[in-house]
Amino acid sequence: MPSNPQILLASRPRGAATVENFRLVVGDTPPLEDGQVLVRHHYLSLDPYMRGRMNEGKSYAASQPLGEVMMGGTVGEVLESRNPRYAPGDKVVGMGGWQEYAVVDANAPGALRKVDGSQVPLSYYLGAVGMPGVTAWYGLTQIIAPRAGETVTVSAATGAVGSAFVALAKARGCRVVGIAGGPEKCRYATEALGFDACIDHRQHGDVKSMSRALKEACPDGIDGHFENVGGTILDAVLLRANAFSRVALCGMIAGYDGAPLPLQNPALMLINRMRVQGFIVSEHMQLWPQALQELAGLVVAGQLHPRESIAQGLASAPAAFIGLLHGQNFGKQLVKLI
């Protein structure tokens, strides 16, 4: 069995996360037992939710234990199997963590899922046709539930979730406005991803300025909003929201360092009779097949073509993750391991 480079959580952040919170080690890969498979990871997914798990306090998911391999989604290939449902060469998606190999109990529900890399690139199963894509699908279809002609907005517009969100919303006849950081990302949003408009939040750093920009980009108001960031952006969206609008709360990255994110005018939710709902996509696994089928279809049809930022080698994961938290990635952030 191969030796296994791994990245552990060495300490909990105090404020912003740093590369010093992680430690690279080389562990032993145990021999397989009945029902297990050995997976060689090709790509590791880096996602904002991981920052919340680094904290010790209460959250929607269990904290990442200190001294253990960082949790995270992976896609790779079965090298060895003692499970009749998997054979060497099978391509699989799982939660293998920040390591090059994983020994997986393939009988555990949801531990592994076979994927086909012949029509959809393998890396896409960690982004557009994976958890981020399903996240966009669930927030749009199950919470926002837009009608053709409505205006919907999304923060972190050029990331993995936002890229899928715009394709799904345009397929439903919506006007889609993104919010992203920097002119290059905003150009990419409109010219490549198909957004009708994109607002640079770096040019509109306070609520009044962002609200004015939203009014210009959304002259008929906002009917649905997908929130990944929180803070000033959410305050401004509430000012432009229409009566009976819907907000899908997916992430609050602006507060992941521990600072509270108070709303400036929560009464707007009552005044506009808004539906504001948080969700965790892993709690809705029964809908994943439906979502994944639509997302894969959009990729094959050329209607969903996400951009990827790919760091090389496991040792690059901590720095790439910190960069993700500061908006330095362009599209889905991955680490290539092979």
The CATH number of the domain holding residue 194 is 3.40.50.720
* Range with the poorest average pLDDT among 48-52, 88-92, 283-287: 48-52
In the chain, the number of structural domains is 2
The domain of 262 spans: 131-282
Bridge partners, residue 260, by sequence: none
* Range with the poorest average pLDDT among 21-25, 65-69, 109-113: 109-113
| Residue 292 located in a structural domain | no
Closest CA to 141 of 307, 300, 305, 279: 279
| Residue 76 located in a structural domain | yes
Helices (H), 60-206: 131-138, 160-170, 183-188
Work out the mean pLDDT of the chain and round it to a whole number: 94
Asked whether residue 154 carries a pLDDT value surpassing 70, the answer given is yes
Tens of pLDDT, residue by residue over 210-229, are 999 999 999 999 999 999 98
Confidence category of residue 260, pLDDT binned at 50, 70, 90? confident
Q: Which pLDDT score is estimated for 135?
A: 97
Q: Which pLDDT score is estimated for 252?
A: 84
Residue 154 and residue 237 in contact, taking contact as beta carbons nearer than 8 Å: no
Contacts of 32 (CB under 8 A, 6+ apart): 38, 80, 81, 82, 103
Residue % of the chain over a pLDDT of 90: 85
| Residue 300 located in a structural domain | no
d(CA 187, CA 182): 9
Q: In terms of domains, do 119 and 158 share one? A: no
pTM greater than 0.95 (yes/no): no
| Residue 142 located in a structural domain | yes
Q: In terms of domains, do 82 and 8 share one? A: yes
DSSP helix/strand/coil, 16: coil
DSSP code for 99: B
| Residue 296 located in a structural domain | no
Q: Which pLDDT score is estimated for 85?
A: 96
Q: In terms of domains, do 119 and 151 share one? A: no
Q: Which pLDDT score is estimated for 254?
A: 73
Q: Which pLDDT score is estimated for 59?
A: 67
Closest CA to 317 of 4, 1, 7: 7
| Residue 32 located in a structural domain | yes
Q: In terms of domains, do 211 and 82 share one? A: no
Tokens of 23: 């430690």
Tens of pLDDT, residue by residue over 228-240, are 988 999 999 999 9
Say which residue, 261 or 68, is predicted with more confidence.
68
The mean pLDDT of 163-190, rounded to a whole number, is 97
Closest CA to 170 of 193, 186, 198: 193
C-alpha dist (Å) from residue 276 to 8, 250, 266 = 36, 11, 11
Q: In terms of domains, do 110 and 241 share one? A: no
Confidence category of residue 303, pLDDT binned at 50, 70, 90? very high
Q: In terms of domains, do 214 and 96 share one? A: no
Distance of CA 9 to the CA centre of its chain: 20
Tens of pLDDT, residue by residue over 96-135, are 999 999 999 999 988 999 999 888 999 999 999 999 999 9
CATH code at position 329: 3.90.180.10
Q: Which pLDDT score is estimated for 189?
A: 96
Q: In terms of domains, do 145 and 194 share one? A: yes
Q: In terms of domains, do 46 and 107 share one? A: yes
Closest CA to 331 of 93, 120, 139, 157: 157
Strand (E) or helix (H) holding 49: helix 49-53
Q: In terms of domains, do 30 and 91 share one? A: yes
Q: In terms of domains, do 177 and 205 share one? A: yes
Asked whether residue 253 carries a pLDDT value surpassing 90, the answer given is no
Q: Which pLDDT score is estimated for 152?
A: 98
Q: In terms of domains, do 47 and 139 share one? A: no
CB atoms within 10 A of CB 87: 11
The mean pLDDT of 46-61, rounded to a whole number, is 84
Confidence category of residue 258, pLDDT binned at 50, 70, 90? low
Q: Which pLDDT score is estimated for 123?
A: 96
Q: Which pLDDT score is estimated for 327?
A: 85
Closest CA to 161 of 223, 115, 93, 227: 227
